[in-house]
Amino acid sequence: MVRAYNPNTDEALINKAYVFGIRAHGSQTRASGEPYFNHPVEVAAILTDLKLDDATIVTALLHDTIEDTAASYQQLAQEFGSTVADLVDGVTKLSKLKLVSKESQQAENLRKLLVAMSKDPRVLLVKMADRLHNMRTIGHLRDDKQRRIAEETLEIFAPLAGRMGMQSMREELEDLAFQVINSEARHSIMRRFVHLRNSTEEDFVAETVAAIEIALKSAGVSATVSGREKRPYSIWRKANIRKISFEKLSDIVGFRLIVANEAECYRTLGVIHRRWHAVPGRFKDYISGPKSNGYRSLHTTVISKTGQRIEIQIRTPQMNEVAETGVAAHWAYRDGVRSENPFAVDPFSWLREFIRKAELGTPAGEGGEEFSHADFLAETKLDIGFEQVFCFTPDGEVINLPQGATMLDFAYAVHTDLGNSAVAAVADGRQVPLQNEVRNGQTVKIVQSKGGLPASFWIDIVKTGRARAAIRKTLRNFERKNAATLGKRLIEGVFEQAQMPFSTRALETAAEKLGAASSEAILADVGEAKLSAHDIFKAVYPEVEHGPGAKHAGESGENLPMIVRGNALSAMEGAPLIVPAAKCCSPIPGDRVIALREPGRGYFLHTIDCDALALFDDDMERWVDVDWSPEAHDKPINTVPVELVLANEPGALGTVCSLVGASGANIADMIFQDRKPDFYRLEIVLEVRDLRHLTNIVTTLSAQPAVASIDRRRHSPEFHGVRAPAIVTAANDPLTIGKKAENHVD
């Protein structure tokens, strides 16, 4: 088989590989029961159809020896040379990769697959032939294993074969996998084929071939004309993409015209269009604009005399070889020498360019973003699984995108800054929305807005991982910048409250002590509530006992003292008293309050509606009526927690903080309780003068569109890791009320 296209083949080398392989595999058998070595021989036979070199054929014969026999890399290198040993080792490593698995593992394994291909594409050619033969004989495996292998084939190997230009192999892999995954749909399509054949009085394919040959001969064009029905999976996929039933698909038969040279291709196209009516929008010129894998051909669709659509491809023999075998044409031999096909592309170029783009995430010359696993998977599957669309910038630069990509993807493919500032697109002189898909051959101009920023929903519009990563990075940088501004305000407020100096040097000291990357990172972390402003203060002034956080409700230590007056608490009528505030309800001046006696601890101030008071309904002797002393309203700082539901949009949190500051209050602490794509739920500890001050702030914030709700936290069983105060045993009650209190809190 090799000698048929390569008379100069090293027959001794191939015989040696055959003998080595059959001895190494010995008595091993396949699931069908046949000798295992039949499989490597069939893989090698598949590769002879591609007219590949001796090293590739030998690799096929030996491709399972390292993995499944006692043979080693060193042994193969000694017997067959380092090139064959490296190829066999590469195929072995590919065989161990699980390409359909959890997202992170799948992304890494795909990356390894692409890197291996970039080193020597012949590794992939052997692996593809190996997979093709395994799919041809898959019926002998367990159903679950059949489905796993078929899914991997349909999701990874078939699209990759197409991306490498190996169209015939792609179609067969797809159809074999389709038969395993959705046999019912495939059988339905096959039945439809039979019905069409039976309902047609004359052989449609033969009749059309004859008509085309007559038309070309009369015009003096010599051509080889062939026609065939499309494979079931191709038809099923087209029906799904167009969202139409099989019965409405008319272009299920394709015709191929092979002519002598490029000039004859265009001449033949003219003959076809003069003979039959062309379908508008169904002409593609891949000769003047070839695909990145080297594919060249003219495509057109015409209407037959019976009203049926006829798809026609026109190409030269060299173009046809590349169209059928893709990058394999680069390695093909003919008459004992390497084939010089002018249309065969360097198989390294596409792989290296794709890996560069996938690793960087941006066009050349920009500082790239590192892809997430999801980004890399999306980019890889788009690039290998879809037809490519070629469009142009106003300067004539060609931009290559996967089919289905949007105008926004185009903008980010040109430059990240262009994508970030895009507001609309002009395609072929007509303004269109950014979410419109780009079409082959369009000239696209992006309309910009100076200083614009991407919207978060753009992530759902774009199709390419590069665009998605760029949008995410830009939004993240914007959010971090806003968070840094907010963090600086919070830190300055805490330092000012403690009457301690704040400076850039102090911030750098805190960053160094807390192990932060920079002072900017410290500011952003405080703004995002990953650190508190109190943490920064303590890092700079660790010995200052009365700094921020020393006596705040809900933190360690005693509760904040509150100034009240009550006859039962003082011998002097109306004399002011200092009573600690209970953490469970955080009373502030203006609240209706009760002082509750806790034996062994003294009195604690509660709001009249505090749940803790319900525990002592039967022990009213503990209750003492008190009122706020006028001095209490003069106290500048009283802390109270509020719960805020805030839209997750740029600037929302900054607006809240700015309004709190403008209202003469301060934010002592901030805890993010829940983060969702569309909202945040957080608890903010406000420093206010009294109830009226708090009410005014709540009113102001409630009026903001970004604020969904704001409520005062009346009862906080757990606040900064400290539980609500336990109620101790009553002096005149033998029962332990503490257990009742604990149950109530739970």
Which pLDDT tens digit goes with each residue over 494-505?
Answer: 788 777 777 887
Structure tokens at 393: 């910038």
DSSP SS3 for 685: strand
Residue 566 near residue 627, CB atoms below 8 Å: yes
Q: Quick one: pLDDT at residue 372?
A: 58
The average confidence (pLDDT) of the chain is 78
Residue-level pLDDT at 479: 78
Residue 80: per-residue pLDDT: 95
User: What average pLDDT score do residues 9-19 get?
Assistant: 95
Question: What CA–CA distances, in Å, run from 534 to 374, 531, 655, 656, 667?
Answer: 37, 8, 22, 20, 11
CB 414 within 8 A of CB 446: yes
Please state which of the ranges 3-7, 74-78, 112-116, 310-314 shows the lowest mean pLDDT.
Answer: 112-116
What percentage of the chain exceeds 70 in pLDDT? 77
pLDDT band per the 50, 70, 90 thresholds, residue 374: low
Which of the four pLDDT bands, split at 50, 70 and 90, describes residue 574? Answer: very low
Tokens of 25: 């595999």
Could you tell me the domains of the chain?
11-179 (1.10.3210.10), 200-325 (3.30.460.10), 348-364+379-466 (3.10.20.30), 474-540 (no CATH), 561-633+727-745 (no CATH), 636-715 (3.30.70.260)
Residue with tokens 């078929």: 150
Rounded mean pLDDT, 210-229: 92
**CB neighbours of 372 closer than 8 A, spacing ≥ 6?**
469
Tell me the CA distances in angstroms from 666 to 490, 492, 561, one per residue in order.
8, 11, 19
Task: State the Cα–Cα distance between residues 536 and 586, nearest whole angstrom.
Answer: 25
Q: Count of alpha carbons within 13 Å of 532, Cβ hemisphere only?
A: 16
Q: What is the mean pLDDT of residues 366-377?
A: 52
Confidence of residue 239 (pLDDT cuts 50, 70, 90): confident
Amino acid 42: pLDDT: 96
Q: How confident is the model at residue 259 (pLDDT cuts 50, 70, 90)?
A: very high
The number of helices, as runs of H, and strands, as runs of E, in the chain is 30, 25
State the DSSP code for 552. -
Report the residue count for the chain: 746
In percent, how much of the chain has pLDDT > 90?
Answer: 25
Most confident by average pLDDT, 94-98, 331-335, 350-354, 384-388 = 331-335
pLDDT of residue 549: 40
pLDDT band at 81 (very low <50, low <70, confident <90, very high): very high
Query: Would you state the pLDDT for residue 416?
Result: 87
Let me know the angle formed at the C-alpha of 156 by 153 and 161, rounded to the nearest 5 degrees. 85
- pLDDT, residue 180, reads 93
What pLDDT shows up at residue 637?
73
Q: Report, as an integer, the average pLDDT of 59-76.
A: 93
d(CA 230, CA 252): 6
Distance (Å, whole) CA 277 – CA 475: 51
Over 60: is that where the pLDDT of 742 sits? no
∠ CA(151), CA(163), CA(373), 5° rounding?
60
Please tell me the predicted confidence (pLDDT) of residue 733.
31
**Averaged over 594-608, what is the pLDDT?**
75
CB 277 within 8 A of CB 303: yes
**In the predicted model, is pLDDT for residue 103 greater than 60?**
no
Please tell me what DSSP assigns to residue 591.
Answer: B
Contact 679, 647 (CB under 8 A): yes
Residue with tokens 């959890």: 102
The pLDDT of residue 636 is 59
| Contact predicate 666/687, CB 8 Å | yes
Query: Which stretch of 241-245, 246-250, 737-741 has the lowest confidence by average pLDDT?
Result: 737-741
Q: Quickly count: other Cβ atoms within 10 Å of residue 498's Cβ.
A: 18
Locus of tokens 């040379």: 81
- Enumerate the β-bridge partners of residue 445: 426
CB 631 within 8 A of CB 576: yes
Q: How far apart are CA 394 and CA 418, in angstroms?
A: 14
pLDDT band of 243, cuts 50, 70, 90: low
Residues 31-40: pLDDT tens digits? 889 999 999 9
Q: Measured between alpha carbons, how far is 374 from 351 in angstroms, rounded to an integer?
A: 20
What confidence category does residue 317 fall into, taking pLDDT thresholds of 50, 70 and 90? Answer: very high
pLDDT at residue 567 tops 60: no
599-621 burial string, b = 16+ CB within 10 Å, else e?
A: eeeebbbbbeebbbbebbeeeee
Q: Alpha helices of 154-203 — where are they, by DSSP H?
A: 158-163, 167-181, 183-199
| Sign, CA torsion 351/356/362/363 | negative
Residues 311, 322: Cα–Cα separation, whole Å: 20
The whole-angstrom distance between residue 102's C-alpha and the CA centroid of its chain comes to: 13
Q: Binning pLDDT at 50, 70 and 90, where does residue 739 land?
A: very low
**The pLDDT of residue 331 is above 80:** no
Encode pLDDT of 455-508 as tens digits: 878 888 888 877 888 888 888 888 788 778 877 887 887 788 777 777 887 888
Starting at the edge strand that comes first in sequence, how are the strands of the sheet with 627-628 ordered? 576-580, 561-565, 627-628
Sign of CA dihedral 676, 413, 463, 324: negative
The answer to whether 257 and 275 are in contact (CB under 8 A) is: no
Residue bearing tokens 């040109």 = 414
The pLDDT tens digits for 615-649 are 777 777 678 777 787 767 666 578 889 999 998 88
Q: Which residues contact 300 (CB under 8 A, 6 or more apart)?
A: 269, 272, 273, 278, 279, 282, 283, 284, 311, 312, 314
Greater model confidence, 280 or 352 = 280
* Amino acid 229: pLDDT: 78
Residue 703 pLDDT = 72
Asked whether the predicted pLDDT for residue 700 surpasses 90, the reply is: no
C-alpha 431/C-alpha 425 separation (Å) is 6
pLDDT of 609 reads 83
Return d(Cα 663, Cα 87) in angstroms, integer.
72
How much is the average pLDDT of 148-160? 86
DSSP secondary-structure letter at 616? G
Whether residue 441 has pLDDT greater than 50: yes
Active site residues: 67-68
Range of lowest pLDDT (50-54, 603-607, 683-687, 740-744): 740-744
HEC-encoded secondary structure of 426-495: EECCEEECCCCECCCCCEEEEEECCCCCCCCCHHHHCCCHHHHHHHHHHHHHHHHHHHHHHHHHHHHHHH
Nearest alpha-carbon partner for 482 in 527, 417, 531, 536: 527
Give φ, ψ of 332 to 5 degrees.
-70, 150
Q: Are 174 and 150 in contact (CB under 8 A)?
A: no
Are 651 and 482 in contact by the 8 Å Cβ rule? The answer is yes
Rounded to whole angstroms, the Cα distance separating 592 from 625 reads 10
**What residue type is assigned to position 354 of the chain?**
F
Both tokens assigned to 623 = 């209750």
